[in-house]
């Protein structure tokens, strides 16, 4: 017990784009075809190996992983984005941290709002339901990080924002 003093506690919240735990996970390598924030939902870009921020009417391919080795923007001394052309990881299976725009409940479906880059547990104007995703922990604080369980299935249809 000396190595694990409180084994029943949940893992601490990380930063958007970081893995939450070590359950089975997968990511693919891509290049940023536009500025992409850590933890942002993405879609395929203009070339086979590029991804760009997700917009309505397109296929969701994953969530941008965090990486301190980028040429992206720095906020409060911390890199927060990928610059165009940066090599990046895109999570398509596992549990990854994202920033929430409202309280969420474990097991709820995940809705993404491109205009603020945040994730929600309910529909709303402009929000897109992300297939294969659910919140993995309840969080009651706005702008907090919360883990999202993601499992992209091949052949998913394009998604459209709620009106």
Residue 1: pLDDT band by 50, 70, 90 thresholds?
very low
Is the per-residue pLDDT at 51 higher than 70? yes
Residue 123 domain flag: yes
The encoded tokens of residue 18 equal 């970081």
Residue 158 domain flag: no
State whether the Cα torsion 40-73-115-20 is positive or negative.
positive
Residue 132 domain flag: yes
72, 81 in Cβ contact below 8 A? yes
Please give the Cα distance from 26 to 73 (Å, whole number): 26
Beta bridge partners of 74: 79
The encoded tokens of residue 21 equal 């735990």
- Mark out the alpha helices in 29-152 (DSSP H runs): none
Residue 88 domain flag: yes
Please give the Cα distance from 33 to 70 (Å, whole number): 14
Q: How many domains is the chain built from?
A: 1
Task: Find the domain containing 65 and state its range.
Answer: 26-151
Query: Phi and psi at residue 126, in whole multiples of 5°?
Result: 85, -10
pLDDT tens-place string over residues 65-86: 998 777 777 777 777 899 999 9
What does the pLDDT average to over 126-139? 96
Please give the Cα distance from 97 to 105 (Å, whole number): 14
Pair type for strands 36-37 and 145-151: unpaired
Write the Ramachandran bin of 107: left for phi over 0, alpha for psi from -120 to 50, otherwise beta.
left
CATH number of the domain enclosing 85: 2.40.300
Residue 102: pLDDT band by 50, 70, 90 thresholds?
very high
Residue 95 domain flag: yes
């Amino acid at each position: 017990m000396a190595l694990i003093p409180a084994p029943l506690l949940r893992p601490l919240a990380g930063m958007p784009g970081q893995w939450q735990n070590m359950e089975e996970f997968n990511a693919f390598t891509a290049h940023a075809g536009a500025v992409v924030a850590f933890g942002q939902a993405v879609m395929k870009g203009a070339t086979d190996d590029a991804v760009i921020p997700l917009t309505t009417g397109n296929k969701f391919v994953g969530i941008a992983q965090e990486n301190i080795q980028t040429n992206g923007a720095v906020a409060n001394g911390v890199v927060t984005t990928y610059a165009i052309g940066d090599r990046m990881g895109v999570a398509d299976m596992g549990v990854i941290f994202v920033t929430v725009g409202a309280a969420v409940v474990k097991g709820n479906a995940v809705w993404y709002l491109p205009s603020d880059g945040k994730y929600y547990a309910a529909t709303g104007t402009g929000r897109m339901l992300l297939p294969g995703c659910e919140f993995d922990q309840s969080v009651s604080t706005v702008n907090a990080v919360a883990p999202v369980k993601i499992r992209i299935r091949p052949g998913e249809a394009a998604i459209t924002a709620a009106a």
